[in-house]
Amino acid sequence: MEIMDRELGEIKNRLVQILGQILADESDDFTVDTSRSLVEEYGLDSLDLLDFSFNIEVEYDVKIGPNELSLKAKDRISQDQVLDEDGYLTQMALDELKASVPEIPSEMFRHGLRQGDVPRLLNIDVFARLVHEKLKGDK
C-alpha cells in the first residue's frame, strides 16, 4: 500500500506541475488542492482540459479518453438508464458515477446534473488515479 501511495503521490505532483504550466504559473510556491475542480477552482476551460489530458498522455504514454469516466459507468447500466426524460442523469447513473469516481465529493452528483457537466467536476486526484490504473494495467 505504501508503494502505491508513493506512486500516486508522485503522479499527483507531476500533474500539479503540468497544471502550473497550463496556467502559466511557474513559481516555486504554486500550490494546488488536488481534490478541487480543475474547472471551477482553477479556471480551466474545455481546451485547457484537452491540453491537460494531452500533456498527461505524453508524460505517461497512456490514453485518457474524453468520456473515460462515463464509459466505465455505462458498462454497468444500460443506455436507457443513463438519462431521464428531461435529459438529466438518472439516480442510477449518479450512483454509478459516485462509485466510479470516489475522488469527487458525492454531494456533487445530485439531480439536475447533465452528462456534459461531469468534466466540470474533474480534479487532479481523478486523473492521478486513472494514470496510475493505466500504468498498472488495471481497467
User: Is the pLDDT reported for residue 39 higher than 60?
Assistant: yes
**DSSP codes, 56-89:** HHHHHT----TTHHHHHHHTTS-GGGTB-TTSPB
Of the chain, the percentage scoring pLDDT greater than 90 comes to 62
- Using one digit for the tens of pLDDT, what is the confidence trace for 6-21? 899 999 999 999 999 9
Between the alpha carbon of residue 109 and those of residues 46, 73, 77, 116, 128, the distances in Å are 20, 13, 17, 13, 20
The one-letter amino acid at 116: G
| CA distance readout (Å), 122 to 3, 37, 53, 66, 110 | 25, 5, 12, 11, 15
Could you tell me the pTM of the whole model? 0.85
pLDDT per position as a tens digit, 93-137: 999 889 989 999 999 999 999 988 998 999 999 999 999 999 988
Residues 6+ apart with CB under 8 A from 87: 114
Check if the beta carbon of residue 25 is closer than 8 Å to that of residue 115.
no
Query: What phi and psi values does residue 44 have, to the nearest 5 degrees?
Result: -70, 140
CA distances from 38 to 10, 50, 125 (A): 19, 12, 10
Strand partners, 89: 83
pLDDT band at 30 (very low <50, low <70, confident <90, very high): confident
